[in-house]
Chain A
Amino acid sequence: MSSLDKETVRKIAFLSRIKVSEEELGELAGDLTRILDFIEELQEVDVEGAAPLTSVADLTLPLRKDEVTDGNIQQKVLANAPKTDAGCFVVPKVIE
């Protein structure tokens, strides 16, 4: 059931924002199909009544006090940026 065609892989690659060449597409489709076949085994498990387990932490969300305890570290925020200008990160022009 879970054989991935090139078109699907192209779509996943775009959603993942990973450039994949035309030649790589076929090999990737093979690899991903093998992985999907492997995880396909789950379909046979009866999970009737099982609530999805999203976290094993047996806790509820801890709440933080509303205080300004962070920020004012522009230099640290920008320290590793490939390109900055006037205190901003710089990216190729975005057309909206």
Chain B
Amino acid sequence: MKIIVCIKQVPDVTEVKWDENGSLIRTGLPSIINPNDKNAIEAALTLKEEKGAEITVVSMGPPQVEEALREAMAMGCDHAVLLTDRKFGGADCWATAYTLGMAIKKLGHFDLIFSGVEAMDGNTAQVGPEIADFLGLPLLSYAEAIEVGEGTVKIHQKLGDLTRVIEGPMPALITCEKELNVPRIPRMDLVFECFEKEIKVLGMADVDGELENFGLKGSPTRLRKVFSPKRAKAQVEFLEGTPKESSQKLVEKLHEINAI
């Protein structure tokens, strides 16, 4: 089985800092593999261990994305492809999906594509589905469990508090939820081995496609403003009385606001 995993390198928002205007300060922020994408990597590695698979991890971004790809290889991915070109810069979801899709076409046969549900720095959850659309693949999104059969793949799809089981033919694209697994920490020896592996670097000329579909040019999204939403201050009301009385008052209050 051949699996492609699409990953994104994102700023580590656990270390995030904001300036006085509420804007994200990106300078000096450490970069990490997007957490959902790590679930995607782990899903591919689990399948590799269970059924045997060859995994290629793909990412688009500046040259420093190499670090994320190496980490994916340290986790156990076999190959890595870096899509980097100044013309890819400023891409929105659509242009990113187009670029990844064109590159995946160049990589030859595959059975499954995994991606995270969404990136923690944008939260659009668009790129995975759009790649599926570009490539004409069945989309199995929000997977919190995956079962691969003979030529088919079944997932447990997370829909809020509900779970829906859906199945599709392979090849297919699956977007992975955090509930799917716990990503492994690479073993020490694999960390060092991953630096001996080659990373295939592809630019615009290598993936074909139309110039106007790449990067900022190919991005219909226009960013108008980034801001931190103001938090409304909640009112606190103390319910007096014995535990029984205050419980009764609480029930009445909840009825009043149609919460129960």
Q: Determine if chain A interacts with chain B.
A: no
